[in-house]
Amino acid sequence: MNLANKTVLITGANRGIGRALVDEALRRGAKRVYAGTRTALQHADERVTPLTLDVTSASQIQRAVEEVEQLDVLINNAGVAIYDDLSNSVAIEQHLAVNVVGPLKVTRAFLPLLRRSKGAIVNNLSLAALAPLPVIPAYSISKAAAFSMTQSLRALLAGQGVTVHAVFLGPIDTDMNRGLEIPKASPESAALGIFNGLEKGEEDIFPDPASQPMAEGWRTGVAKELERQFTAFVPKERGEAAANLESRP
Ligand SMILES: NC(=O)c1ccc[n+]([C@@H]2O[C@H](COP(=O)([O-])OP(=O)(O)OC[C@H]3O[C@@H](n4cnc5c(N)ncnc54)[C@H](OP(=O)(O)O)[C@@H]3O)[C@@H](O)[C@H]2O)c1
């Protein structure tokens, strides 16, 4: 999907990759960029509309939906990563709330608009969704779960004209991995890679130098083949299943 004249909503838009995605969407000619943030945001470009949006808050999600008239692309970018060793249940629950349940609720809330525009959902995942990074196991669990959610949404919404994209990010130079001395790509180049993948229609996007070498092996591998085979189990009346997604608590 080409971003020119499109309306885009990005969660976690105040810093890191989210902030870079806002600027890259503007550069590509987006008509309106809704910047979802937990704290007030100011942006010089008048095409940016700030939205107060904590993805774990049902009331903020509801209010955000009421402020958006039209939407072509939803980017579920907001996320947390906390170092743990799986001994802390609170850390696991927090990752699941922000990285999995939040994006699912946001997606369901904006689905009517996305269905109307035949739009796209982009979920910012991680290479840790494919194999756990054992120094952040709770984060890895949440990203693997968010990937599974992405695959199911993709299958359920295929008949509705809404595309669902997984982004497998490698290390990007943001607050999230500050202090980790490994090669990292810039958030600006990651944003570029994400939108390039979306414009090429890639359902699985590998946007940076660490992730790109995985792309070919992933796309021709057994796990991807199994995803395609399992998609065939979605009933022909997909409309019915997908139509119910947003109407249940
Ligand atoms: N950086 C990497 O190396 C890397 C690698 C793989 C995947 N990713 C993924 O890329 C996405 C962006 O990461 P980043 O590196 O840009 O991280 P970041 O710089 O730490 O920014 C995280 C963003 O998420 C927001 N956020 C956190 N909890 C939220 C909530 N409950 N509701 C709404 N927004 C919330 C933060 O808002 P506040 O400012 O209010 O906290 C911030 O805008 C994440 O999903 C992350 O998992 C990053």
136 CB near ligand 1 (under 6 Å): no
Instruction: Determine the Cα–Cα distance for residues 55 and 38; give it in Å rounded to an integer.
Output: 9
Mean pLDDT of 152-172: 97
Model confidence at 248: pLDDT above 90? no
Report, as an integer, the average pLDDT of 197-209: 98
Whether 207 lines ligand 1, by a CB cut-off of 6 Å, is no
Q: What is the 3-state secondary structure (H, E, C) of the chain?
A: CCCCCCEEEEECCCCHHHHHHHHHHHHCCCCEEEEEECCCCCCCCCCEEEEECCCCCHHHHHHHHHHCCCCCEEEECCCCCCCCCCCCHHHHHHHHHHHHHHHHHHHHHHHHHHHHHCCEEEEEEEHHHCCCCCCCHHHHHHHHHHHHHHHHHHHHHHHHCCEEEEEEECCECCHHHCCCCCCCECHHHHHHHHHHHHHCCCCEECCCCCCHHHHHHHHCCHHHHHHHHHHCCCCCCHHHHHHCCCCCC
Give 242's pLDDT tier (boundaries 50, 70, 90).
low
pLDDT-derived band at 202, boundaries 50, 70, 90? very high
- What single-letter amino acid sits at 90? V
- Report CA(119)–ligand 1 centroid distance (Å): 23
Q: Structure tokens of 47?
A: 């095409």
**Which tens digit of pLDDT belongs to each residue from 134-153?**
999 999 999 999 999 999 99
The CA R_g of the chain, rounded to the nearest whole Å, is 17
Q: Quick one: pLDDT at residue 3? A: 97
Q: Which atom of ligand 1 is nearest to the CA of 127?
A: 6
Alpha carbon of 188 to those of 1, 97, 149, 172, 204: distances in Å?
Answer: 19, 27, 27, 9, 19
What average pLDDT does the segment 24-32 reach?
A: 98
Residue 52 CB–ligand 1 contact under 6 Å: no
pLDDT score recorded for residue 249: 58
Select from 9, 56, 61, 70 the least CA-distant residue to 35: 9
Ligand 1 centroid to residue 68 C-alpha, Å: 22
Task: Reply yes or no on whether 139 is catalytic.
Answer: yes
Instruction: Look up 83 and say whether it is catalytic.
Output: no
Would strands 73-76 and 48-52 be described as parallel, antiparallel, or unpaired?
Answer: unpaired
* CB distance 98 to ligand 1 below 6 Å: yes
| Apex 62 CA angle, 60 and 65, nearest 5 | 110
Q: 189 CB under 6 A from ligand 1?
A: no
The fraction of the chain above a pLDDT of 90, given in percent, is 93
Q: For the packed helices 137-157 and 89-96, what is the interaxial angle rounded to 10 degrees?
A: 30
User: 76 and 122 in contact (C-beta within 8 Å)?
Assistant: yes
Interval between CA 178 and ligand 1 midpoint (Å)? 12
Interval 36-52: pLDDT, tens: 999 999 999 999 999 99
Band of residue 244 on the pLDDT scale cut at 50, 70, 90: low
| pTM given for the model | 0.97
What are the pLDDT digits (tens) for 48-102? Answer: 999 999 999 999 999 999 999 999 999 999 999 999 999 999 999 999 999 999 9
